[in-house]
Amino acid sequence: MPEGPEIRREADRIERVLTGRTLVHVELTLPHLQPFATSLIGTTVTSIDTHGKALLTRFSDGRTLYSHNQLYGKWYVCRRDRPPATRRSLRVGLHTETHSALLMSASTIELLDADALAAFPPIARLGPDVLSAALSWRDVAARLNEPDFAGRSLGALYLDQHFIAGIGNYLRSEILFAAGLHPAERPRLLSRSEIGALARATLVISQRAYATAGVTNREPWIARLKRQGLTRRHWRFAVFDRAGAPCHACGATIERIEVGTRRLYLCPGCQPSRPVVSRPK
């Protein structure tokens, strides 16, 4: 499933062809949305926002189209006279005079006014967006110390969209590695400096993934691996999907474990497991 950085990049592509432009044709194929398609014709797309893994297409009449790709959804951006060659099922078609944004195969789509959007459970229950310009590392540190989150293992917490929205499986592994913390650790047992390091890593790694189309590894390591002739698959991540390979930092063998029925990768040298003791000073 795409994570926050991938959804934000998808939003950027849609934004370039829709924002500020008037819709001349709209297709909404899900039965509960079909009656509203005509009412969107003539509106202007004011912005394409994201919150976690949800994409929010906002219209000039105050309504917002909420969509979530889940496992199979995919947005296509194209010229109106050059539709994509795909066997996917159309769910949403937003057409200007020159371009189209087409959502295929997604199943979670709603058209909501401002009040309904604010109360919409999939949005109302989300934590702050990991890529929000308003989110600072101090905000992340404060959330780590909140009673609802402080007692949970990092491995479980970092997939909980109520904590921070937009973090998924690969970001979880990469963030914990960057912070040097084992996934069994709990925020309440971390020192202040460890909380700070984790909070900073949360933002740095997520922003790096957005800027680089999903690459979270460190530049010196990437450069070294490229000189060896290795492909993107081998240098994209520091630990994720690298079970059995040597750690770029210490040479220890990367391990794969299961946390919350999802795979997680770690370096036992850089992220040692520690006995549960009282919180360090």
Q: How many CB atoms lie within 10 A of CB 10?
A: 20
**Structural domain contains residue 193:** yes
Tell whether the model's pLDDT for residue 120 goes beyond 70: yes
**Structural domain contains residue 280:** no
pLDDT of the residue at 2: 81
Tell whether the model's pLDDT for residue 131 goes beyond 70: yes
CA angle 133, 109, 49 (to 5 degrees): 15
**Structural domain contains residue 278:** no
pLDDT, tens digit, for every residue of 149-174?
999 999 999 999 999 999 999 999 99
Same domain, 170 and 241: yes
pLDDT of the residue at 70: 86
The β-bridge partners of 94 are 26, 101
Same domain, 151 and 75: no
**Structural domain contains residue 201:** yes
**Mean pLDDT taken over the chain:** 95
Tell whether the model's pLDDT for residue 279 goes beyond 90: no
Same domain, 166 and 113: no
Q: Copy the structure tokens of residue 162.
A: 């109520």
**Structural domain contains residue 186:** yes
Residue 87 has φ and ψ, to the nearest 5°, of: -100, 5
Same domain, 259 and 142: yes
Report, as residue numbers or ranges, the catalytic residues: 2-3, 53, 262
Helix ranges (DSSP H) in 145-235: 147-150, 154-157, 169-179, 192-211, 219-227, 232-235
Same domain, 92 and 174: no
**Structural domain contains residue 65:** yes
Average pLDDT value for residue range 208-236 = 96
Same domain, 14 and 110: yes
Q: How many CB atoms lie within 10 A of CB 7?
A: 26
Same domain, 71 and 184: no
How many structural domains does the chain have? Answer: 2
Instruction: Let me know: does 47 contact 122? Beta carbons within 8 Å.
Output: no
**Structural domain contains residue 250:** yes
Tell me what percent of the residues of the chain surpass a pLDDT of 70. 98
The β-bridge partners of 65 are 57, 111
Query: Which residue from 1, 124, 102, 122 is spatially nearest to 57, judged by alpha carbons?
Result: 102
Same domain, 261 and 185: yes
C-alpha pair distances (Å), 238 with each of 165, 181, 254 = 22, 14, 9
Domain boundary among 74, 90, 124: 124
Same domain, 143 and 252: yes
Same domain, 190 and 260: yes
Domain boundary among 79, 97, 124: 124
Tell me what percent of the residues of the chain surpass a pLDDT of 90. 93
- CATH number of the domain encompassing residue 262: 1.10.8.50
Tell whether the model's pLDDT for residue 246 goes beyond 90: yes
- CATH number of the domain encompassing residue 46: 3.20.190.10
pLDDT of the residue at 235: 96
Average pLDDT value for residue range 235-252 = 97
Tell whether the model's pLDDT for residue 223 goes beyond 60: yes
Same domain, 118 and 149: no
Average pLDDT value for residue range 176-203 = 98
pLDDT of the residue at 278: 53
Domain boundary among 97, 124, 151: 124
Query: Which residue from 268, 264, 235 is spatially nearest to 254, judged by alpha carbons?
Result: 268
Same domain, 222 and 171: yes
Task: Write out the residue range of the structural domain in which residue 153 sits.
Answer: 137-266
- Of the pLDDT bands very low, low, confident and very high (cuts 50, 70, 90), residue 107 is confident
* 82: Cβ contacts below 8 Å, ≥ 6 apart: none
Q: Copy the structure tokens of residue 106.
A: 């997604």
* C-alpha to C-alpha distance for 217 and 233, rounded to whole angstroms: 11
pLDDT of the residue at 1: 66
Tell whether the model's pLDDT for residue 276 goes beyond 80: no
C-alpha pair distances (Å), 64 with each of 49, 60, 114 = 10, 9, 7
